[in-house]
């Protein structure tokens, strides 16, 4: 079992479900408010790896949804500076286990990395229910 450092937006329904899934697999989750962290460009970049910077934007951020910010039109250096100024632009969650960092909650990636197998029968039902849901996007975007 791993200790998972989990940077979230408090109150985000999907971040809560993601933490539940990790806990059901026996991991210890240590959650931090992503919006209040003293990010640097180097630290933030460490979560993005070699992904295109456009994939690291929170598509539910108001300035992205309004079209004010178009992630595909922004270079990595500018994007990182924008994210430092406006942390809502950062795709969530940011996850760290040991020296490895990831952005977003891709089920297959996380399962292969630290495992998402439930620890017992009670957690099996919870896990099956959560895995049947979209845990990447913002649920509020689908409620209209």
Which residues have C-beta within 8 Å of that of residue 36, sequence separation ≥ 6? none
d(CA 20, CA 28): 10
Residue 57 lies in a domain: no
- What CATH number should be reported for the domain holding residue 39? 3.40.30.10
Domain ranges, residue 11: 3-49+90-135
Task: Using CB atoms within 10 Å of the CB of residue 5, give its burial: 0 to 12 exposed, 13 to 18 middle, 19+ buried.
Answer: middle
Helix 13-24 and helix 121-131: axis angle, to 10°?
A: 140
Question: Residue 29 phi/psi, 5° resolution?
Answer: -105, 125
- Number of domain units in the chain: 1
d(CA 19, CA 120): 17
- pLDDT of 5 above 70: yes
pLDDT digit string, tens, across residues 73-125: 999 999 999 999 999 999 999 999 999 999 999 999 999 999 999 888 878 87
Residue 71 lies in a domain: no
Residue 98 lies in a domain: yes
Helix spans in 5-144 (H): 13-24, 41-48, 62-65, 76-85, 107-113, 121-131
What's the CA angle centered on 109, arms 127 and 10, to 5 degrees? 65
- pLDDT of 139 above 60: no
Query: Mean pLDDT in the chain?
Result: 90
- pLDDT for residue 142: 42
Catalytic residue among 12, 56, 101, 138: 12
Is position 56 annotated as part of the catalytic site? Answer: no
d(CA 121, CA 15): 23
Maximum Cα interatomic distance, the chain, rounded to a whole number of Å: 47
């Amino acid at each position: 079992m791993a200790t998972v450092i989990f940077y979230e937006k408090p109150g985000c329904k999907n971040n809560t479900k993601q933490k539940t899934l990790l806990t059901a697999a026996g991991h210890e989750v240590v959650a931090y408010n992503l919006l209040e962290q003293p990010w640097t460009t180097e630290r933030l970049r460490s979560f993005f790896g070699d992904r295109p910077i456009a994939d690291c934007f929170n598509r539910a951020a108001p300035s992205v949804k309004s079209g004010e910010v178009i992630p595909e039109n922004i270079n990595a250096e500018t994007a990182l500076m924008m994210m430092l100024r406006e942390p809502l632009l950062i795709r969530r969650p940011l996850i760290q286990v040991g020296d490895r960092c990831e952005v977003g909650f891709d089920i297959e990636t996380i399962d292969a990395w630290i495992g998402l197998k439930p620890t017992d029968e009670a957690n099996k039902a919870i896990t099956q229910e959560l895995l049947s849901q979209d845990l990447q996007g913002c649920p509020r975007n689908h409620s209209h």
